Amino acid sequence: MISAKKLKEEYERKLKDLQNECSHNDISEWMEHSWAPAHFSGFQLKQCNYCWKIIEYRTSCIACKIKFITKEQPKRNNCLCDRCLKKGKYYCVTHKKFYDGTQGCPICMKYFDEIKM
């Protein structure tokens, strides 16, 4: 008897093989992405109608509001276009500034430091 885990692993392997071999000739229109029913991610995607591989994503830059297309899934909380990424790795919507540090905006982060658990 085969387990559900083995079935899922086999399905994922076969789907990946199909996606790697597919020529992606039948691409969908732009559609909203949701991580759960009725929970939209704020970006759109196109996928192959045959193998279901996601081909590209479309979203708006949080800094300059320009729509752009990318091959990788955008990060919902800090989605920057290539032009704005040159200004900094993170953008603080509250203070309208770019930052390169791993913590993002130091002004906003100081409030988290002040919170006592």
pLDDT, position 117: 54
Q: What's the pLDDT tens digit per position in 76-111?
A: 667 888 899 899 888 988 889 998 877 778 888 877
Rounded Cα distance, 2 and 11, in Å: 13
From the number of C-beta atoms within 10 Å of its C-beta (0-12, 13-18, 19+), residue 116 rates as exposed
Angle 88-90-95 (CA atoms, 0-180°, nearest 5)? 100
Answer for the pair 92, 107: CB distance below 8 angstroms, yes or no. Answer: yes
- Indicate if the pLDDT at residue 1 is higher than 60: yes
Cβ neighbours of 59 (radius 10 Å): 22
In this prediction the pTM is: 0.72
Rounded Cα distance, 8 and 14, in Å: 10
pLDDT, position 19: 97
Q: Which long-range contacts (CB under 8 A, 24 or more apart) does 43-49 make?
A: 43/73, 43/74, 43/76, 43/79, 48/19, 48/22, 48/24
